[in-house]
Structure 1
Amino acid sequence: MSHFRQSSLHELVTLLWAPSVCLSSGDGQIRAQGLDGFYTNDYRVLSGLEVEVADAVVEPVGCRVQGPASAVFTSRVRLDGDEGADPSVVMHRYRSVGQDGLEERLELVNYGAAPVRATVRARARTDLAPVHVVRGGRQAPHVDPRPVAGGACWAGAVQEVLLTAEPVPARMTSEDADVVLSFTVDLAPEQPAGVTLRAIARNNDPETAQRTFLSVAPRNPPVLPHRTTGAEEPRDPQRRKLLQASVRDLQRMLLADPLEPADSFLAAGSPWYFTLFGRDALWSASLLLPGARRLALGTLRTLQRRQGERHDAVAEEEPGKILHEVRRETLRLNDMVIPPLYFGTIDATMLWVRLLHSTWQAGVDEAEIEALLPSLLAALEWITAHGDSDADGFIEYRSSTRGGLANQGWKDTPDAVRWADGRRVASPLALCEVQGYAYAAATQGATLLDAFGLPGADRWRDWAARLQQRFRATFWIDDATGVYPAIALDADKRPVDGAASNMAHLLGTGLLNAREADLVARRLSRPDLDCGYGLRTLSSTSRAFNPHSYHCGSVWPHDTAIAVLGLAAEGHHAVAHSLAEGVVTAAEEFAFRLPELYAGTSAHDGEPVLAYPNACRPQAWASAGAVAMIDYLESHDSTSAGTESGDRPGLLTAVPEPRHT
């Protein structure tokens, strides 16, 4: 008995302009199976779009991706009556995803000596399925089409889509749930001819309008300023290609707040996360500072408008808390039930405070920061009032009992936190990196309070100092390689052994002294964590290590980028350089469009770079992390421009120098 194998994301051609994305096979066909489809605003609005030529065999010969949003799929068309080995007709499918939908221009070229008449058919269908249904591998019933002038329409309770053609099809028929548009195309020798198909989706549910984020048109000046031209462009071809691909993808992952469309932020990633994720958006904006100040402000304000105000156990909302994610409707995936506004994150609130401080340091107008100070005060209060749920002086979370996330740090899968012997760790958990975020938020928040003449700075500095003492006394453990910070404290306040990438996030927060930072840097430099393609999420010495897992041994580019910047801040440039170059090396395997994660195979042992099959690609913080790492390499690598290390300006400094300290 044969079983259908759902295509993996890394096998598909991805074209995007947030909040829309098109996934197809390399031949251009959208086959109404697996993950194929055109998606927008968390719905698959076309599940099938196949092109065929009557009485002909279509032979795919190539695909050229022309940027984040466009590609050309080329096929030879072997018509009945073709003589010789080579067919005379070639078909190009010029596909583009735009702000308002999907466009596909079918162009046929006759290289023969005689005119040819061809019948081209476009077969379309949809299930209007929510993305979590598609992602979970479940089948949704197909929606029957309704004929309209020049095409067809499919309508559901939340979403509808209109498919039109130019010229008007010669014939339109329905076959089961498919609509088939037929066109007669006369092809004179060497004269291109064809048809254009357009699919435009529309929201039918006004109740979801405030949770439906908007696409962003290219702006001048751009939201993501950077130096990538002329003498400022990286000389190394791998770095240059990775930088260019990452910036192009980031521009297409921007979304605007429907409550204030002037404010932009980065959607988390394609295809499942074209929405607002607090942690992802905050890290992405942070990694692009000081250049992307407008993006940072837009991210801060978009999250501030949705900052927690009340106690809601289902949404895990609390006063002052920054949210985890926004969805148009309740998300049901396996055992999880996530409400449209969900606050199940332990770290986003502290990351919001840190981004506010970094944005102020980058030199934005002080009035912009001052307008956000009430939210700063609320966020700081959340840290001690709700973040420390058992009043032990550490910030911890409990696994959700209402269908939310079991783990609420960035490694949020149920099996992400392990003992060295492979056992899962019971919550409540106090993650090591969260203590670093909290320390930085308290000290940087205090700096902002002083700068703007507000009381309370001493309170937060005192709290941070006590946290630092408690951390030093509690978190440090040792193994055969030496001492290092535990990944977390478990429910019984025992430090969880087993080296993981979490410790890298402590660097640059101020929580560690110079000796402690040296110990972390040395631990990160070992080949069980630095695999040669970046930083593994979990050491290969752990019994739970699996280089092909999601969080237990894979490499996440953003995780490596955070480590690189932290190492650089602490003066450990050799380790930072090794990790960053490892990611640049791995990027070539993915045509320089970095995925969310990839396998933590060992370059030291001669193993190849391997994909994680269903990693999102592109992913905002992976792309932002790539820009940050190349910025670091270009400004600290003497080989990049023949200058001494540190003499060359970075790629993200195309703004006035920071005026704050």
Structure 2
Amino acid sequence: MAQPYLHEHVTCVAAPATWLSGPSGDLTGGADGLYVCDRRVLARLAVTVAGHDPVPLGVRRPGAAEAEFAAVLPRLGDVGPDPTVRLTRHRVAEALGGTETLTLANASHETLTVAVEVNAATDFAAMGVVKQGDPGLPLVDLAPDGAKSADGMTVRLDASPPPDGPGLRWEVTLEPRQTWSARLTLVRADVPQEPAPGAPSPLRVEAADRRLDALVATGVQDLDALRRADGPDVYYTAGSPWYLTLFGRDSLWAARLALPMGTEVAAGTLRALARRQGRVHDRATDEEPGKILHEVRPADATYDLPPVYYGTVDATALWISTLTDAYRWGMPAAEVAALLPNVERALEWLGGHEGFVRYSASERGLTNHGWKDSGDGVQHADGRLATAPLALSEVQAYAYRAALDGAGLLEAFGRDGAERWRGWARDLAERFRGAFWCPGGYPAIALDGEGNRVDSIASNMGHLLGTGLLNEAESRAVAEHLAALRSPFGIRTVAPSSAGYNILSYHLGSVWPHDTAIALLGLVRDGHREEAAEVVRALLAAGERFAFRLPELYGGDDAPTPYPAACRPQAWAAAAGPALLTALLGLDVDVPAGRLTLAPLTPSPIGAFRVRDLRIAGAPLDVTVTEAGAVTVHSAPPGLRVEVAGR
């Protein structure tokens, strides 16, 4: 069955809850619903007034967790062309459920007496059942006494004022110019309340190009809404609705790109994953000693994969480098030191691979274990699927960087092994240089099981930039190929010359904001500043087309086309906003060394701008950059030396 489409949905998120509906606000089928911890709390919701369906006018989204639906009832009230009876629905997602407030307004000249009726039902469906397009389970009507499933899932519904008819029905009398309201509160009552994930981030920007302001503000709101607690720690869930849980790769990249919001989420993510670091060899779950997991699901909502699944080849290296970046941005040394045993186990997992870091699929697991993890995501240019075991190009770059980062951490904290891992990184770089480069002067997306280059021109090469794996000439070649991959709205996942190219393929032609943002940061680090400025413009153009809530992915040719099943919001897409600030500022932070460096893109592709409350070591950075690149530092974290390139 087909996966339900989401591109026209209105989404409200307060992890682990998400609420999806069409523009009317009604829940009518498909993926519509209020979900908590990957189970559907509310599957159907419809409101009628005097037996009439309201006519939707529009929807407003005040924040990541809220939506306000406006409708009119043209068959009620005064006779004439102007509607005089309005229904507003104010929806708020909350951690274990949500509220919906109905407000009926009478702007007519006569007293109105009507029945307001709400039809509410649940089916207790697991998210996986919904994602696979299953027609669903039998509906259970929700009355004020709630409902309970056979496996113990409990939904409570409270209505205020209490209904005065059967079910959820109110007899309402409204004088002219009066309003009436009722609130429905839905709670999943069989799961514990999680600790609050903390205060919203204050990060903000004011730019001549106001699109940057909106993209950053929306991304920050969405990231705050996607936070979830794991005991005392907080992490970013991957995205709504399919992946509202802990993901190794996704949660790490989101935290890393969003470091301008502070190190707390990165630290929480690192600890949450470290607690689950692999200890044994288990082919059923792809667990291996030292390995960082792929995803976690509630036991009552698993689908396709085990509840704790380790089928990712990149999360382990990314974990090490995220810890290093968080340390450089001000994660307390004592917290870093506590994770060093995990660093050593992760390094041993990397070093346990022969030649290159490779993967093969297990019977129950995903076919591909890199970020392009769809079954057809790794192809030769002629369309042939690559055969395992596969060594992905970006994974070698992650491993190279992680070995150096791990060595730096071991050395900084007086532990043995630093030189061993630096030597391992040097050897990996030499092997990569000899094995991965294609005749066209670009790195292959992968080596297949026979050691052949998988020769698609793919965006994966952008992840090599800034890692140190490439020499200057190689970096320039990659930057030039990325420019050829760039659409007006971001970097395409593969080149149009590839046989499998399709702008609405998950990984074979679409644009992913996080993929584009990673390449952007690499372009800046390697000095390809003109190319970086063009990527900034592309991301802002995409943001404008999607009301500044960037989806997980989209088609990015002449006009950005919604990928119909994409998550929105998606954490690493939302994190592209804060990542833009890192790139625009040319920001390099090294708290242990007591300095931060600013080297803004010049001329600025967004005009003059001011960044406020960018967090470094728990303190704010407030800085203005002119279009010509002149920097004024209004305030900086105490104890750090601020260096401005060119001064």
Scaled by the length of structure 2, the TM-score of the pair is: 0.90
Distance in 2 (CA, whole Å) between partners of 1:123 and 1:91 is: 16
**Equivalent position to 2:15, from 10, 15, 18:** 18
Q: Does 1:8 align with 2:5?
A: yes
Alignment check: 8 A CA contact 1:57 1:78 kept: no
Alignment check: 8 A CA contact 1:290 1:653 kept: no
Distance in 2 (CA, whole Å) between partners of 1:560 and 1:621 is: 11
Distance in 1 (CA, whole Å) between partners of 2:25 and 2:635 is: 36
Change in Cα spacing, 1:372 to 1:6, as seen in structure 2 (3 Å) is: closer
**Equivalent position to 1:573, from 508, 517, 529:** 529
Cα deviations by residue, 1:175-211 (Å, 9 ceiling, x for unpaired): xxxxx4110111121121121111111236xxxx7xx
Distance in 1 (CA, whole Å) between partners of 2:186 and 2:535 is: 43
Match of 2:616 in 1: none
SS class of match (2:154): strand
Distance in 1 (CA, whole Å) between partners of 2:509 and 2:634 is: 31
Letter in 1 for 2:273: L
Change in Cα spacing, 1:247 to 1:112, as seen in structure 2 (3 Å) is: same
**Equivalent position to 2:178, from 191, 194, 197:** 191
Q: Give the drift of 1:501.
A: 0.5
Letter in 2 for 1:193: W
**Equivalent position to 2:471, from 513, 519, 525:** 513
Change in Cα spacing, 1:238 to 1:309, as seen in structure 2 (3 Å) is: same
Match of 1:177 in 2: none
Change in Cα spacing, 1:155 to 1:576, as seen in structure 2 (3 Å) is: same
Match of 1:287 in 2: 257
Letter in 2 for 1:86: D
Q: Give the drift of 1:346.
A: 0.3
Q: Give the drift of 1:84.
A: 2.7
Alignment check: 8 A CA contact 1:263 1:302 kept: yes
Match of 1:83 in 2: 79
Match of 1:643 in 2: 626
SS class of match (1:395): coil
Change in Cα spacing, 1:649 to 1:272, as seen in structure 2 (3 Å) is: farther
Alignment check: 8 A CA contact 2:104 2:179 kept: yes
**Equivalent position to 1:471, from 404, 409, 432:** 432
Q: What does residue range 238-637 of structure 1 map to in structure 2 within 5 Å? A: 238-257=211-230, 260=231, 262-329=232-299, 337-385=304-352, 388=353, 391=354, 393-400=355-362, 402-479=363-440, 483-526=441-484, 529-601=485-557, 607-633=558-584, 635-637=600-602
Q: Give the drift of 1:541.
A: 1.1
Q: Give the drift of 1:81.
A: 7.2
Q: Which runs of 5+ in 2 are unaligned?
A: 586-599, 609-624, 643-647
Letter in 1 for 2:319: W
Q: Give the drift of 1:647.
A: 4.4
Match of 2:125 in 1: 129
SS class of match (1:11): coil
Q: Give the drift of 1:422.
A: 0.8
Change in Cα spacing, 1:512 to 1:470, as seen in structure 2 (3 Å) is: same
Change in Cα spacing, 1:102 to 1:622, as seen in structure 2 (3 Å) is: same
Q: Give the drift of 1:79.
A: 4.4
Distance in 1 (CA, whole Å) between partners of 2:459 and 2:634 is: 26
Letter in 2 for 1:584: L
Change in Cα spacing, 1:66 to 1:654, as seen in structure 2 (3 Å) is: farther
Cα deviations by residue, 1:125-144 (Å, 9 ceiling, x for unpaired): 11110001001110232243
Letter in 2 for 1:484: Y
Match of 2:612 in 1: none
Cα deviations by residue, 1:23-81 (Å, 9 ceiling, x for unpaired): 111111111x1111111100111100110012445222221111111111111123467
SS class of match (1:28): coil
Moved more, 83-92 or 73-82: 73-82
SS class of match (2:562): coil
Distance in 2 (CA, whole Å) between partners of 1:517 and 1:655 is: 36
Q: Give the drift of 1:363.
A: 2.5
Distance in 2 (CA, whole Å) between partners of 1:471 and 1:280 is: 25
SS class of match (2:168): strand
Letter in 2 for 1:574: E
Distance in 2 (CA, whole Å) between partners of 1:123 and 1:525 is: 53
Scaled by the length of structure 1, the TM-score of the pair is: 0.88
Distance in 1 (CA, whole Å) between partners of 2:333 and 2:173 is: 64
Alignment check: 8 A CA contact 1:19 1:215 kept: no
Distance in 2 (CA, whole Å) between partners of 1:358 and 1:547 is: 33
Change in Cα spacing, 1:462 to 1:55, as seen in structure 2 (3 Å) is: closer
Letter in 2 for 1:216: A
Moved more, 68-77 or 588-597: 68-77
Alignment check: 8 A CA contact 2:220 2:574 kept: yes
Distance in 1 (CA, whole Å) between partners of 2:3 and 2:392 is: 35
Please report the RMSD computed on the Cα atoms of aligned residues, expressed in angstroms.
Answer: 2.3
Match of 1:142 in 2: 138
Q: Give the drift of 1:613.
A: 0.8
Alignment check: 8 A CA contact 1:632 1:650 kept: no
Cα deviations by residue, 1:312-361 (Å, 9 ceiling, x for unpaired): 1111111111000000127665xxx3111100000000000001111111
Alignment check: 8 A CA contact 2:4 2:130 kept: no
Match of 1:235 in 2: 208
Q: Does 1:114 align with 2:110?
A: yes
SS class of match (1:65): strand
Moved more, 558-567 or 308-317: 308-317
Match of 1:40 in 2: 36
SS class of match (1:171): coil
Q: What does residue range 142-221 of structure 1 map to in structure 2 within 5 Å? A: 142-145=138-141, 150-172=144-166, 180-203=167-190, 214=194, 216-219=196-199
Change in Cα spacing, 1:55 to 1:115, as seen in structure 2 (3 Å) is: same
Alignment check: 8 A CA contact 1:16 1:69 kept: yes
Alignment check: 8 A CA contact 1:330 1:338 kept: no
Letter in 1 for 2:461: M
Letter in 1 for 2:217: Q
Distance in 2 (CA, whole Å) between partners of 1:270 and 1:650 is: 37
Q: Give the drift of 1:508.
A: 1.0
Distance in 1 (CA, whole Å) between partners of 2:502 and 2:448 is: 22
Alignment check: 8 A CA contact 2:553 2:566 kept: yes
Distance in 1 (CA, whole Å) between partners of 2:510 and 2:632 is: 32
Change in Cα spacing, 1:652 to 1:114, as seen in structure 2 (3 Å) is: farther
Distance in 1 (CA, whole Å) between partners of 2:638 and 2:36 is: 34
Letter in 2 for 1:360: Y
Q: Which runs of 5+ in 1 are unaligned?
A: 173-179, 602-606
Distance in 2 (CA, whole Å) between partners of 1:236 and 1:466 is: 45
Alignment check: 8 A CA contact 1:631 1:651 kept: no
Distance in 2 (CA, whole Å) between partners of 1:655 and 1:339 is: 47
Letter in 2 for 1:38: L
Alignment check: 8 A CA contact 1:166 1:197 kept: yes
Cα deviations by residue, 1:212-254 (Å, 9 ceiling, x for unpaired): x9463442xx4x452x1xxx52231111111111111111000
Distance in 1 (CA, whole Å) between partners of 2:228 and 2:632 is: 29
SS class of match (1:52): strand
